[in-house]
Amino acid sequence: MGTLHGASNSGHNTNLTTAHITAIHSSIDALIDNPSATDKEKAAIRTSLTEVSKAIDGGSHDVCQVNAFAQWQESIIQSLKEEREQCRAQVIKMTRFNEQLKRVVAFLQDDQATAEQITKLPQADEFGDAVWQAQVTAWQSVSQTLQKRSASQDYKATQQLSVQTTKAVADAWGVVIAAHAAKDKQKYTAAQNDLAEAYDGLDGIAIETAKMMAELAKELEREYKVAF
Amino acid sequence: MCMMCSVAYATAGVGLLMTSGPLLALNNDTAGNTSQKTLSAQVASLPQAPGALSNIKAPRLTEPKWLKDQNAAEAAAKAVQQANRRVVTYDVTTKGVITANLAEFKAQANASLNDSRGWSRLGVTFQEVSSGGNFTLVLSEASQMTSFSSGCGIDYSCRAGRYVIINQDRWLGATPSWNNAGGSLRDYRHMVVNHETGHWLGHGHASCSAAGQPAQVMQQQSIDLQGCAFNPWPTASELWSSQLGIGR
């Protein structure tokens, strides 16, 4: 077994250790233990996830292929054949883990895009009527931008919710403006209440995001345990 | 671990080690170590939108000038209306052994009299005074009811001359017919104060106008609702007072 396994021209390159696979495993372990309280720390972890995915992608997918001579060897040495089957099985596990990881990365990218759109909206504790129309425009713009963005499959439900909710806020501002123009106290009071309710709807986006993310994270962990 | 698979990830692994230096530097001692955190928990905490959205609240709207002006006008009109309201005064006393909370009695009676659904719709404000009021509101032990007039009984409340007398037993427990109809004690208290004060205002007893209709407050709801729904407040048709010279 020593000669065959030591020979670099045998078609079975088994001189390398498992250190490189361990490196990926270590990266993920490190990622788990990283602090994630601040936005900066979370951003670092998001970047790390992307790097891990790329690293797995960068591996050769033909690793388990051997030349004709090696195949002949396998026909007479059972352990070599078993080794290649194990190799294939490991590649499958790593691939499945990476597919799940890509879903997570894509979802986080979509989430980041939504957060960026929303955080650029003008904020203040109080708005005078001179800027109410600008609020309509700003929220409509965000809604349209979110609508046009091509999102991952897992994010589509959250995307739709985000589009509807931001449009609802824009519409609520419009009703406030109309009641103000009409100088109708009853309608104006109702419009104020409806505006507050529309803003409360933003909580729904946070809830949907958290729910989807938890499901994806759970699946990722499942594939991680299988792969490693 | 499959040794052949190391070939597949050799380049990737080296690349990762070289480019992920800062990442691994954060915690180099993690390979194979168990951690209290899990991958799923760590990943689940990463989305930005929830945090970003939690900072966004509906803003206050600066009150427009037209609304300020309208509110000021309404307040002024209300103040004028209040100033022009007729004031009816009453003093409060008790008779016999009183176990009910007198402070509560005074407060609730005043609230009933001045409620926007009640006799205040006559354009009247009822004001409690320490003595010498237009009428006297009495909380009386049941056994003392007959001392006010032979027309008063120990079972119910009564009005005799300037005295509007509330039977303590009724104040504390309403009546079986009221309770069986699902009426609340507070509503009963509204009703009995309004009913007896209604007598002082000049009203006699009324009957149920039609089954299912709200009873007039001058109906003897303590005794029998006669098919009407219990109602603690004077109806529109009852908004007059011969005592005060209002309406009719």
Please indicate whether, in this complex, the C-beta atoms of A58 and B23 are within 8 angstroms of each other. no
Q: How many domains does chain B have?
A: 1
Please indicate whether, in this complex, the C-beta atoms of A214 and B40 are within 8 angstroms of each other. yes
pLDDT at B79 (0 to 100): 82
- What are the sequence ranges of the domains in chain A? 2-107, 114-219
Radius of gyration for chain B, computed over Cα atoms and rounded to the nearest angstrom: 36
State the pLDDT confidence band at A24, using cuts at 50, 70 and 90: confident
Q: Is the pLDDT of residue A31 over 50?
A: yes
Q: Tell me if B122 is assigned to some domain.
A: yes
In this structure, which amino acid lies at residue A208? E
Please indicate whether, in this complex, the C-beta atoms of B6 and A28 are within 8 angstroms of each other. no
pLDDT at A149 (0 to 100): 95
CA torsion sign, A100 to A102 to A108 to A114?
A: negative
- Which chain A residue has its CA at the smallest distance from B13's CA? A20
Nearest CB partner across the interface for B53, out of A22, A56, A118? A118
CA distance A65 to A12: 9
pLDDT at A155 (0 to 100): 96
Q: Tell me if B49 is assigned to some domain.
A: no
A102 touches chain B (CB under 8 A): no
pLDDT at B122 (0 to 100): 93
A41 touches chain B (CB under 8 A): no
Q: Tell me if B15 is assigned to some domain.
A: no
Global confidence as pTM: 0.59
Q: Is the pLDDT of residue A13 over 50?
A: no
A27 touches chain B (CB under 8 A): yes
Nearest CB partner across the interface for A59, out of B1, B12, B48? B12
> In whole angstroms, how far apart are CA A30 and each of A58, B21, B27, B118, B204?
20, 11, 6, 73, 88
Q: Confirm whether the ipTM is greater than 0.85.
A: no
Q: Is the pLDDT of residue A9 over 70?
A: no
Please indicate whether, in this complex, the C-beta atoms of B61 and A196 are within 8 angstroms of each other. no
pLDDT at B182 (0 to 100): 85
pLDDT tens-place string over residues A166-207: 999 999 999 999 999 999 999 999 999 999 999 999 999 999
B77 touches chain A (CB under 8 A): no
| Residues spanned by the domain of B188 | 88-238
Q: Is the pLDDT of residue A130 over 50?
A: yes
Task: Determine the residue among A15, A27, A126, A195 to mutate to test chain B binding: the one whose Cβ has the most chain B Cβ atoms within 10 Å.
Answer: A27
Q: Tell me if B137 is assigned to some domain.
A: yes
| Burial of B134: CB neighbours in 10 Å, binned 0-12, 13-18, 19+ | middle
Kind and range of the H or E run holding B166: strand B163-167
Q: Tell me if B112 is assigned to some domain.
A: yes
B61 touches chain A (CB under 8 A): yes
- Which chain B residue has its CA at the smallest distance from A128's CA? B62
Cβ neighbours of B43 in A, within 8 Å: 49, 104, 213, 216-217, 220-221
Cβ neighbours of B48 in A, within 8 Å: 39, 42, 111-112, 115
pLDDT at B25 (0 to 100): 30
Q: Is the pLDDT of residue A117 over 80?
A: yes
Beta-sheet strands, E only, within B2-157: 60-61, 86-95, 124-128, 135-140
pLDDT tens-place string over residues A46-99: 888 998 888 887 765 556 665 666 666 766 777 777 877 877 788 888 889 999
pLDDT tens-place string over residues A198-228: 999 999 999 999 999 999 999 999 999 998 8
Name, in order, each residue with C-beta under 8 angstroms of A83's C-beta and a sequence gap of 6 or more: A12, A14, B2, B3, B4
Q: Tell me if B138 is assigned to some domain.
A: yes
Name, in order, each residue with C-beta under 8 angstroms of A109's C-beta and a sequence gap of 6 or more: A152
B73 touches chain A (CB under 8 A): no
8 Å CB contact between B215 and B208 = yes
| Alpha carbon of B81: minimum distance to chain A alpha carbons (Å) | 21
Query: What percentage of chain A has pLDDT greater than the value 70?
Result: 83
Low-confidence residues in chain B, pLDDT < 70: 1-36
| Mean pLDDT for the stretch of residues A97-103 | 94
pLDDT at B213 (0 to 100): 93
Please indicate whether, in this complex, the C-beta atoms of A45 and B42 are within 8 angstroms of each other. yes
